[in-house]
Structure 1
Amino acid sequence: MENEFQIRILLVKEIFGTITPEEQEKLDKILATSEEARALRIEVKNNTITASRKEFYTRDMEADFQEVLRRHHLIRVRRVRNRLLSAFMVAGLLTAAYWAWPRLPEAVPPRSVMPPRNHAAMLQFANGETITLQESGLQSYRIGGTTVYKDSRFLRFSPADADAYGWNTLNIPPRKEQRVLLADGSEVYMNSASKLRFPFRFPPGKREVYLDGEAYFIVRKDPVRPFIVHAGQADIHVNGSEEFNVDAYMATRVTTSLIKGELTVAAGNQKVRLQPMEQALVATEQPIIKKVYDPTYTTQWVNGEVYFEDITIRDFGNLTSRWFNTTLYIDSPEGGEKLVKGKTFRNQPLDDLIDQINQLKTAELYWKNGMLHAK
């Protein structure tokens, strides 16, 4: 990751709207390629100190920011221009910094709704007990004979009970994602607004999980215990070491995309076998459709990017709900069928994506009374 302090500066400027287009482009590229930078962005946002504007106006902003720089042991101290409106929390030292912005001559209406509440991931154990997973720092929880660990990379488990076969449920809210390391060493990368049911220990005979939403699986081979993902109307059977993506946001329309290995997708009495770069679509009362797919539009979300082409405004609204926790209100039935295309990064401001869509002139997105509309 590039210089952490410089990334913090860019993140602060992004939060307070003082970032330049060139700086935003640089930050977007960093966020798209660095998991550490994305975690840092969450940390910076969570550690923001909220206070009244009156208090901020009375602060000596130049002195405050110079103190922050001094605590970071910078050799060069840059003079802060009057237009620089920020400060930040020092993660490693937990040192408080100050956040500020200059007095404006008059109030300016916001272009978008206020940031949504910071919903966290929730893990419900088989006995009904529920814990909230923090976004940063090393955490551990003890439940019965199982210890649950969460660090910057994975949520993982150390079951001591030989019969830890009960079903636990992991809920990931909008705007979040989570990597999970299952008991057999298989990995699950869960997308926003998704739910996974799984045991802390797989029983003899087979390994099963249940998915609502979307997840990318890296399955470890076990010759005597096949791995099965139940997703909506589809059952995905894995016998070797496979990598694949399952999109089951709609239980009546499940898409399985194979990246590596071989697997079988079953629905009712139908079965299809997939090879790498093949995709199976299971829809209600329809034969399973198998086709070659473009990973750009299917699995890039794992890298913090979404590409979409010729999707309806209605489907675009599903994207804004999951990735930005923002509901899209469609003004008319025909408006929901208009087609759009584009791309976005997970941490990109929603307004940037709205501008991108509006430039195509195939649909119009606009804010009204703090709500996002399409017409």
Structure 2
Amino acid sequence: MKQPRIYLDWNATTPLRHEARSAIVAALEVTGNPSSIHTEGRKARRLVTEARAAVAAALGADARDVIFTSGGTEANVTALAPGLRRGAGAAVERLMVSAIEHVSVLAGGLFPADRITRIRVRRDGVVDLDDLAERLNEGPPALVSLMVANNETGAIQPVAAAAELVHRAGGLLHADAIQAFGRIPLSLKELKADLVTVSGHKIGGPKGVGAVVTAGEVIWPRPLIAGGGQEQNRRAGTENVAGIAGFGAAVAAAMAAQEVEAKQLACLRDRLERGLRQYPRLEVFSGEVERLPNTSLIGVPGLRAETAVIAFDLAGVAVSSGSACSSGKVTRSHVLSAMGVPDNLAEGAIRFSLGWDITEADVDLALEAWRTVSGALAKE
């Protein structure tokens, strides 16, 4: 009997929750354009409105401050715009990003390259707030972009503390919550962020839908996509009704199960790491700081990530070498480079990321595959 495959790459993307699937199928039967005022159009608009309310409720935001996009990358690019301001405050003129951000943030959005500064991170993978404070005083008001939790190490960042520094300096803070949303409790109020970005396919929704959520009074100098008046004139184009409906359903399901899932995943992650640590030279990156309950990034000197990922795959276990945004290429992690991890350790980094239907038996099978991989390494 063929052994079922074990998917341990949930930070790259998640399976579709059944609630999201049902919502998508139902939405596909709705004919109307959500901008039309007839009955069919109002049915479509209602689906978008309900999903907007679900996203807003999950973050303690106002529904009118949720802007749907084509995914997390577009959401980040939308958020990273020169000239942003909050209320009567000063417009931001430069961008500061931590060195461990997602590539869509490191690229700077709409900011020119000469107005982008990177903030250092510590060896444990947490942003250096002293470096942030120093750089905030070196110029005009800045937009600072800091992820809530790193997609590779899972390390949770001090977003609220960073926001206080940024606001004292007259700037704005964008929190990329794409990996954290649905996995740990989040709210705009507690994050103290001016903008938060989220994505559907990281929480059991469909690919191709995300959102920018603001804390109110955030004013864009111009829409990212000009055209019609969709999304409060901030993002033109007919809304992806089915995708948005699936996103909203996934958000509601994730919020309802969040506390239970987080506890289960933390136990499974710890079980996995106990087994992995039996290999004497293994290091769990950011293992000493607070992390997402589902994420473990490990490294072993001399291990080649590409070889290990293939070996796990042949054993029926899907893992990754880090971020899934490198077109299938296994390259040295910019996150580990920023953390100062030596090349011989960083080049063998493997990420395990778990999700709601992973069991102890799945973890044990993954450890069995690891014993094969590490056994081959020991013989070299």
TM-score, length-scaled by structure 1: 0.28
Structure number with the bigger relative contact order (C-alpha 8 A, sep ≥ 6) is 2
Q: Kindly indicate which of the two structures has a greater share of residues assigned to strand.
A: 1
Pick the structure with greater CA Rg: 1
TM-score, length-scaled by structure 2: 0.28
Q: Kindly indicate which of the two structures has a greater share of residues assigned to helix.
A: 2
